[in-house]
Structure 1
């Protein structure tokens, strides 16, 4: 494939249009699957090696990031993580395009962030045809266990995504959103500062 052909595929990807596995095969060197395998088999006590591997795997990673193994990513290199990130076990990034995660984000076990979907009509799924749209998780978000974040979603500052939710649309800042499909349940308010605290 010529450089011009590669650019044409990248342009289609950026527009959220359909592309195939064969067309996107030139991106294979950006996959960090061997490094992810090594990370998932690195002893917990070898913190220096884990930090080094995260830096090599992700497109960018902030200070004090914690990712509990095992985690999985299609590329790894398209994931960008801010400071003070905590990702619990079985976190999956389907990162055919960028996943950008802000500071102070917490993700519970078995969460999937997928930038990629497939056409509804089977005739359009030949050669693993797909479309991809970036995901943005703003600062201080908490995502509950077994949630799925779908292509093109942006989750606003400070919001909480309930366990088991399927997030197919943007979520505004400072709300609790739950369900399948995920919907805003309520705003986060000053009253939430006093929950689960001992009586005075």
Structure 2
């Protein structure tokens, strides 16, 4: 794996997503996500079996409502009782850690991938992966977008539709685009 595109992605270096090995990993994730999204709710439970096996960690009682989408799955770590509502998308080119008791509203999007600023770099598939961390007992409102490299503190609230481009302190409420603090407990 040394020098591979996957190794570069994991190291937070520029890599090309137009790589056969990375595509094979995305196909595996798409299969697990398809199963999760298509199983009847009583059969699926909190997580479809393929998705549960794919995730980096699925804590006790963690739940993902269908439909759901992720890029790789193995970079997603869910704490105990974490809840992702319907329509969430996680482009987990880097680690995404969601703390225990944290709630994500419908259609929340987490984007770890950042494409190259130059057109030639984008055409070559160059991107860089930046991790996202969300502390315990946070609440991310519906349709919020969280960009790579962001940490959201324990107990924080992100308002519906907010675009989070920088860190959010613990027990702080942010809203808007770009998200800005409106309250600190």
TM value normalised by structure 2: 0.90
Residue 161 (structure 1) aligned with residue 158 (structure 2): yes
DSSP 3-state at the match of 1:77: coil
Kindly tell me: are residues 169 and 90 of structure 1, through their superposed partners in 2, closer, same or farther at Cα, counting changes over 3 Å?
Answer: same
1:17 and 2:20 correspond:
no
Count of residue pairs brought into register by the alignment: 183
Provide the rounded CA distance (Å) in 2 between the counterparts of 1:35 and 1:17. Answer: 27
Question: Unpaired segments of 5 or more residues in structure 1?
Answer: 189-200
Query: How far apart are the structure 2 equivalents of 1:58 and 1:178?
Result: 29
In structure 1, how many angstroms separate the alpha carbons of the residues matched to 2:53 and 2:115? 29
Q: CA deviation at 1:85?
A: 1.1
Query: What's the TM-score, normalizing by structure 1?
Result: 0.84
- Cα deviations across residues 39-88 of structure 1 (Å, max 9, x unaligned)? 10000111459453342131110011111100000111110101011111
Residue of structure 1 in register with 2:114 after alignment:
117
1:40 corresponds in structure 2 to 37
Q: Which runs of 4+ in 1 moved over 6 A?
A: none
Gaps of 5+ in 2: none
Aligned to 1:81: 78
Q: Does 1:66 align with 2:63?
A: yes
Alpha carbons 1:73, 1:92 under 8 Å: kept? yes
Q: Of 127, 137, 141, which residue of structure 1 is paired with 2:138?
A: 141
1:53 to 47, 50, 74: 50
**Equivalent residue, structure 1, for 2:3:** 5
Which structure has the greater CA radius of gyration?
1
What is the rounded CA distance, in whole Å, between the counterparts of 2:49 and 2:127 in structure 1?
32
- The alignment partner of 1:45 has SS state of helix
Do residues 26 (structure 1) and 21 (structure 2) align? yes
CA distance in 1: counterparts of 2:171 and 2:46, whole angstroms: 36
Q: Using a 3 Å threshold, how does the CA distance of structure 1 residues 143 and 48 change in structure 2: closer, same or farther?
A: closer
